[in-house]
């Protein structure tokens, strides 16, 4: 199959775009024998910059320029490839591109949310006009795509409800763990008398619930546990947090840098629990990365988390109202009842069955369901 892959940066080399999802989905498709070609477009031209910085704000006020029909038009007009030569066009994110393409070639869109879900969840203080424009664009995209793939049932259900997408055209394929299969061999065998190695991984301290994670660890220390909280992904951590005795601050680690990537892997191999009390989450690959290392996830029942953290299988989802002490007590329960080693093994089992799937190591730990879907529907 000849697949056209639309991305603002080169998906053959850029491992950072959308947390590595663009690179990994492209890689998975190629590894099973498909031909993948990068379809370029210009998202840095002068007209687009003027529109984003000035014109959009004059028309819509506070909002996101990407979610507008003029942005769609300005980007699509810079695509010069013959789209009809492809069997399928795959577009991760970039809703404006999905909305604006004019082609008979089937378009497959892969996203993690919808506009109605983002308002007052990720997006705040947007004007009504900006929100309405974003909805219009997303409706156009939903109708233009042959298939809308969502990273969670939370997002899929919204797409069906808000845009009347037929259920047969709305699929759920969770994000994968953007890691090599060979890098993830780890099973935790924690003993209640051992140090508890907890990892917090995210780039947005506030939204990911960083203070709650610290509060939980402070409670564990107060209750007599030997705790180490490794913090990964945060570029500028508050000095108060850095100075706590149980904190191991690694900062932001670039997976494209071999030394930093190995440091990231080492942090996971030492970890016993992923603690991520996120306040808002569409879908996070870090949950599947945790499961790949046999690390149970303790998070929150919000957004699309339920498709990544399965209660009493690879972790547990606390209510959004849970405080630091609540998270600490759940961890203490896991330790006292010897649940950690069981959850660790179940997490590994889950990742093997649900994420690696029937194609095994061939497509790493990611996106085999996309490969199977394309094979079933377009070959």
278 and 306 housed in the same domain: yes
pLDDT mean across residues, the chain: 91
251 and 350 housed in the same domain: yes
Instruction: Write the pLDDT tens digit of every residue in 40-76.
Output: 999 999 999 999 999 999 999 999 999 999 999 999 9
> Quick one: DSSP state of residue 262?
H
Three-state SS at 302: coil
Is the per-residue pLDDT at 368 higher than 60?
Answer: no
Instruction: Write the pLDDT tens digit of every residue in 300-320.
Output: 999 999 999 999 999 999 999
Q: For position 151, which CATH number holds?
A: 3.40.50.2000
Question: Does 372 or 203 have the greater pLDDT score?
Answer: 203
Is the per-residue pLDDT at 152 higher than 60?
Answer: yes
174 and 186 housed in the same domain: no
Instruction: Write the pLDDT tens digit of every residue in 72-94.
Output: 999 999 999 999 999 999 999 99
188 and 333 housed in the same domain: yes
228 and 124 housed in the same domain: no
Question: Does 198 or 188 have the greater pLDDT score?
Answer: 198
112 and 171 housed in the same domain: yes
- Name which of 153, 138, 10, 7 is nearest 64 in CA terms: 138
192 and 328 housed in the same domain: yes
Domain span including residue 244: 181-355
In sequence order, the β-bridge partners of residue 248 are 230
Instruction: Write the pLDDT tens digit of every residue in 2-32.
Output: 999 999 999 999 988 888 889 888 888 887 7
% residues pLDDT > 70 (the chain): 90
213 and 285 housed in the same domain: yes
Cα distance between the two ends of the chain: 7
Is the per-residue pLDDT at 104 higher than 80?
Answer: yes
189 and 109 housed in the same domain: no
Three-state SS at 258: helix
246 and 127 housed in the same domain: no
171 and 243 housed in the same domain: no
- Work out how many domains the chain is built from and give that number: 2
What is the Cα Rg of the chain in Å?
A: 21
């Amino acid at each position: 199959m000849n697949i056209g892959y639309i991305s603002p940066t080169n998906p053959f080399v850029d491992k950072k775009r959308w947390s590595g999802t663009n690179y990994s989905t492209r890689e998975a498709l190629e590894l099973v024998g498909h031909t993948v070609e990068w379809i370029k477009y210009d998202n840095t031209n002068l007209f687009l910059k003027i529109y984003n910085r000035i014109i959009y704000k004059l028309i819509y006020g506070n909002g996101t320029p990407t979610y507008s029909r003029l942005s769609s038009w300005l980007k699509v007009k810079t695509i010069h490839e013959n789209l009809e030569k492809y069997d399928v066009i795959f577009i991760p994110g970039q809703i404006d591109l999905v909305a604006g393409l004019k082609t008979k070639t089937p378009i497959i869109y892969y996203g993690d949310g919808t506009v109605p879900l983002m308002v007052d969840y990720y997006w705040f203080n947007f004007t009504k006009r900006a929100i309405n424009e974003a909805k219009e664009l997303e409706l156009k995209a939903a109708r233009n795509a042959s298939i809308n793939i969502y990273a969670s049932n939370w997002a899929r259900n919204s797409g069906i409800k808000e845009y009347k997408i037929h259920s047969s055209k709305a699929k759920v394929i969770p994000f994968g763990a953007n890691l090599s299969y060979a890098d993830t061999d780890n099973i935790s065998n924690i003993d209640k008398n051992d140090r508890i190695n907890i990892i917090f991984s995210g780039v947005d301290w506030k939204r990911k619930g960083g203070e709650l994670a610290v509060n939980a660890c402070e409670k564990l220390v107060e209750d007599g546990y030997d705790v180490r909280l490794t913090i990964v992904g945060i570029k500028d951590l508050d000095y108060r947090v850095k100075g706590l005795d149980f904190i191991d601050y690694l900062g932001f680690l670039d997976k494209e840098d071999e030394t930093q990537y190995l440091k990231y892997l080492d942090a996971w191999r030492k970890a016993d629990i992923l603690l991520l009390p996120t306040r808002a989450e569409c879908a996070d690959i870090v949950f599947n990365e945790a499961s790949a290392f046999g690390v149970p996830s303790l998070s929150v029942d919000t957004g699309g988390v339920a498709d990544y953290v399965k209660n009493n299988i690879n972790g547990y989802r606390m209510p959004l109202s849970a405080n630091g002490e609540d998270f600490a007590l759940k961890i203490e329960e896991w330790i006292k009842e010897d649940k950690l080693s069981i959850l660790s093994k179940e997490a590994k089992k889950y990742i093997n069955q649900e994420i690696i799937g029937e194609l095994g190591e061939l497509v790493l730990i990611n996106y085999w369901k996309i490969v199977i879907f394309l094979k079933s529907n377009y070959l």
